[in-house]
Amino acid sequence: MKTPLKRKHSSGSGDEDLSPGKNNGMTSPPANKTCGFVDDGTVTASESRISNRQAKKLKRSKTDNGPHQKCAHCKKKTGLASTYDCRCGEKFCSEHRYAEIHNCCFDYKSQGRVELLKNNPTVRAEKVAKI
């Protein structure tokens, strides 16, 4: 937060106090002004227009891949048949499709462990009575 600087006036010595009661060139916003919001919690039309624009802009940036898909490693254009989706969420060309080549951040080891636990539940047999 910036603090206001003391300003020298031609009529004073420059050591004037900047108290809130005096008018020192700085105006405060009126207390009854609403800034885009109505008291009942609804948003005004101009505020909703801004949020809709921002939402559309974000939506466009997320779906920017469209027809111009490129390899995330070498930025080479990839076609429909030569695009490989990795589990890390990126798209790669045929050269960089393997996890070892593009330094994949996906944890295959823990994913495999979870998959094995789901597919192979532990079975506990009842104890056999001793004769």
pLDDT digits (tens, 9 = 90+) for 28-62: 444 443 333 344 444 444 444 556 666 655 555 55
Over residues 6-12, the mean pLDDT reads 52
The structural architecture, per CATH, of the domain 68-120 is Irregular (4.10)
pLDDT digits (tens, 9 = 90+) for 78-96: 988 889 999 999 999 999 9
* pTM score over 0.75: no
Cβ neighbours around 78 below 10 Å, total: 20
Per 3-state DSSP, the chain is made up of helix, strand and coil in percentages (nearest 5) of 25, 5, 70
Q: Look at 15 and 51; give whichever has higher pLDDT.
A: 51
Q: Cα–Cα distance between 121 and 111 in angstroms, integer?
A: 16
Question: Chain-wide mean pLDDT for the chain?
Answer: 69
